[in-house]
Amino acid sequence: MAETKILVVAIDFGSSGAGYAFSFAYQYKNNPLDISTSVWNNGNGPLQTKVPTVLLFDPNKKFHSFGFEAEDKYEELLNANKADQWYFLKGFKMQLYSAVNAGEDIRVDFELLDVGGKSISAKAVFSAAIGFLKDHFIQQMHWRKLGTVEDDIFWVVSVPAIWNDSAKQFMRESAEKVGIKGEKFIIVYEPEAASIYASLLPVDKLVGKNGAVILKAFDPGRKFIVVDAGGGTVDISAQQVLENGELKIIHKECGGPWGGECINKQYVNMLKELFGKEVMNKFKRNNGEDFLQLLRDFEVKKKMFRVVDEESLTIRMPLSLIELFLDIEESDVQTAIASSRFNETVRLKRDKLSIAGSLVETFFSETIRTIIDEVVSLLKHERCSDVSVIMMAGGFSEDDTLQHAIKKQFPSLEVFIPTDGALAVLKGAVIYGHNPNVVSSRVCYYTYGIAISKAFDPSIHDPEKKVLRDGREMCNNLFEVLFEIDEEVHG
């Protein structure tokens, strides 16, 4: 993999957002950070570098659309009461993680559930997602007349570090299904990609507490932790910079399903408690466009929420929701709020729902506590005792509430977020594609015995020489060669 790649394209589709980035060999040679990213137009607002990770399949389970187009079509189907036979997928990446954790055999395929609870092939969904981003790039390549052909492309797909080998193999097979050849394809762990990108940034792009520049974050010998917080998962990786600038993973990656979607779920749970499950379910079913917009508005507002300011968070409530509540409950929303446990923390004025900062904090508290506990546990390990820096990356890391909590919990450590923190994984994946050797070694999950001399035979061997304590020690006549294997990231 050390040979020059003419063109490297990295694909990153998280639980909430997806996109791609690319660079040519000459760009990487002159400036590794000279990387172009995908640009998407949702028809309403500024251009975006990522598109929602949602897919739509028709009643025959044939792929129809991805991203903004899928959202728009699904809203149209909901408003026309025709959505029941279609398959709308969002958050499906987390279903793969859940299936693996539940011990489900995913080696061939398994079933995903769409938002309505209908089942569809997981391999079809994942391959459609990769295939859409692949085809979109190739179309742009031809439109821009970049002067390359598809065989010139080397593909990189980023995955959570907490995925096991089965999940990575599933991703590889999904890519091969849409024409990405194995020899032209590699997988990279998301937190490693983020640190690869950040390590090459100019020092003025590494800003920590109170605007202070982190001058020595990537000096040789320095140890640091990457907290890659996305929409679905949080990956935590302990790394060290070697003398040659390469990165060494010094502890097994850890993390869990503690991404930004957890906060969104808490918000929706509050709405269900306030308006009632019957109202919210009917609202979601009959006013799908308004429901999706309600979630989009919260997604934007939660990133701007500052816990230190103790400000309330204001969301526009759709008139359709307020009217539906009145029809079903035969009462106005203000009266329901006054008689609920939210009477001191929620106010509705016309169509604006104001949520007190103290209540918004509770949306974050459990998720943030879990993340912090995981970092604390990692720092207790002897290999990580001299870690001095925490780097945050991923979309969830942009939330001020998470940043504030991490900085408050670890006052003795430098905490920083690189420029374009939400794109750090994507851009780092491109750099990794050009030079996979930038990560020199990892901590393997298992050790492997490859040979024995003789098995214990009670008829000829002294029983006192047999030791089976905890399965880690074998009899004296048993010769076991153990070695650490640097896990091949590409499966």
What pLDDT digit, counting tens, does each position of 126-142 carry? 999 999 999 999 999 88
Q: Where are the beta strands (DSSP E) in 210-369?
A: 223-229, 234-241, 247-249, 254-256, 313-316, 346-349, 352-355
User: Among candidates 40, 19, 20, 21, which has minimal Cα distance to 32?
Assistant: 21
The single-letter code of the amino acid at 189 is: Y
Q: What is the mean pLDDT of the chain?
A: 85
Average pLDDT value for residue range 377-394: 92
Residue 454, pLDDT score: 67
For residues 394 and 235, what is the distance between their CA atoms, to the nearest angstrom?
10
Maximum CA extent, the chain: 89
- The confidence band for 331, taking pLDDT boundaries of 50, 70 and 90, is confident
Average pLDDT value for residue range 469-481: 39
Residue 471, pLDDT score: 43
8 A C-beta contact, residue 38 and residue 18: no
Residue 453, pLDDT score: 59
Average pLDDT value for residue range 166-190: 92
Query: What's the sign of the alpha-carbon dihedral 142, 144, 147, 153?
Result: negative
Residue 279, pLDDT score: 94
Q: Percent of the chain scored above 70 by pLDDT?
A: 87
Alpha-carbon distances, residue 103 vs 97, 100, 106, 122, 164 (angstroms):
10, 5, 9, 16, 11
DSSP string, 404-456: HHHHHH-TTSEEEEETTGGGHHHHHHHHHHH-GGGEEE---S-EEE---S---
Question: Residue holding tokens 């490859």?
Answer: 450
- The confidence band for 318, taking pLDDT boundaries of 50, 70 and 90, is very high
Question: Residue holding tokens 């999940």?
Answer: 167
Is the pLDDT at 380 greater than 90? The verdict is yes
Residue 196, pLDDT score: 92
8 A C-beta contact, residue 226 and residue 248: no
User: Among candidates 208, 197, 253, 244, which has minimal Cα distance to 431?
Assistant: 197
Average pLDDT value for residue range 289-303: 87
